[in-house]
Structure 1
């Protein structure tokens, strides 16, 4: 008996195994998966359990059914994220929905990251990123009020060129960034805003942007559906 047995319901275990096979390419894109009976035999599970597992993967976008033919692996390409990338809005690509802009008392981690006093405020820009009309990321970006108050960063409207351009215009060009990556279950707000399927975790990035002399000018919490993304890092070894 393993020290830490998998206590998830059987359909979740099967979905996890099939998901791993799809991500590894063992079940290639645009190919038919084994029949329900073959999966019943492979996993020694009831037909209803297999169907529940397949429903999870259909909801996540990994599989699709063709009436009278079977279930196939969708040609699903994850968003491979270059951590330094800024998604410029485009007619057929990425667009932003501005949810809120206001002056707030930021959370402790933001206070620490920006190096501001505990009683200082920040300008919050809360946004939803969409791709082809589908929600893919929620973001909460904080800027020290001493920098952003009374500027386009504090206005409840989109900024031409985005926040990077606004900061550059203020004399704070972006020079470096750090990312802290974690995963966790989504909050109710994130489930609704990102239209997440059941049981999908989120990827949380805590990003700090630095300007000249490593001055922190932006701290952002970026939350993405874990079923949509892969994070790619390129590190020089010489």
Structure 2
């Protein structure tokens, strides 16, 4: 009789301080450690994780660098207020009403803090392959790119790259390097291309060099990458946007009805 070989045991090859930070990070993000609450003491963490004082302090420093907790040496470490924000994409879909600011600004402000956008680039560019396919453009085709950074209290929240078919964008304010009152959804609706449907594809990825720098990330924690395609009448794609935000600070909430 052949005795089956035991299954190999998967090992967590991260250093101990990274593993401690990972477990505490999960408790913060799930709400077990609520905003404003104190983390367990260093002595408690040493016992829980069978770790030295130096290892626990290295773990806590990671969480401080990630802007999840605050604390000074010798003082209790507490979970930051707004340690994680919930983004509801459906609230940003409709164009802003006449005279109102870009809807992201008004909705983000409800999360607490001062929200603003910073326009970084406007010009023709060759989009990545998934955007080309979404906009039904040929390989090597070009589109209008509007790249911006969204901030709350001057902290970077989201790097946004929005692409538009040139036949829609040419001759409009979208081609100019300036902000558009109400945002591009409002302008597109005014131009006869009202948004009818938005489809999101969300993935978690290791940040690119651009994302790492722009979002001021403390490490290679994953970013949430969203490819949002906006369709108008006759299912015509009028916008494809790639958005990247820090995965440890933001979560996405989608709501559906049964039927």
Q: Using structure 1 for the length normalisation, give the TM-score.
A: 0.92
Distance across 1 between alignment mates of 2:31 and 2:189: 43
Q: Structure 1 residue aligned with 2:162, among 112, 130, 141? A: 141
The 4+ residue runs of structure 1 with deviation greater than 4 A are none
Instruction: State the partner residue of 1:211.
Output: 232
Q: Structure 2 residue aligned with 1:167, among 160, 166, 188? A: 188
Q: Using structure 2 for the length normalisation, give the TM-score.
A: 0.85
Distance across 2 between alignment mates of 1:69 and 1:89: 36
Instruction: State the partner residue of 1:20.
Output: 26
Q: Residue 156 in 1 paired to residue 177 in 2?
A: yes
SS at match of 1:84: helix
SS at match of 2:238: strand
Gap regions ≥5 residues in structure 1:
none
Specify whether residues 2 and 55 from structure 1 end up closer, same or farther in structure 2 by C-alpha distance, changes over 3 A only.
farther
> Would you tell me which structure has more strand in proportion to its own residues?
1
- Does the 8 Å CA contact 2:160/2:243 hold for their aligned counterparts? yes
- Does the 8 Å CA contact 2:115/2:152 hold for their aligned counterparts? yes
Q: How many residues align?
A: 238
> How large is the RMSD of aligned CA atoms in angstroms?
1.9
Instruction: State the partner residue of 1:234.
Output: 255
Distance across 1 between alignment mates of 2:64 and 2:162: 33
SS at match of 2:118: strand
Specify whether residues 105 and 32 from structure 1 end up closer, same or farther in structure 2 by C-alpha distance, changes over 3 A only.
closer
Instruction: State the partner residue of 1:222.
Output: 243
Distance across 2 between alignment mates of 1:232 and 1:2: 37
Gap regions ≥5 residues in structure 2:
1-6, 93-102
Instruction: State the partner residue of 2:91.
Output: 85
Instruction: State the partner residue of 1:3.
Output: 9
- Does the 8 Å CA contact 1:183/1:204 hold for their aligned counterparts? yes
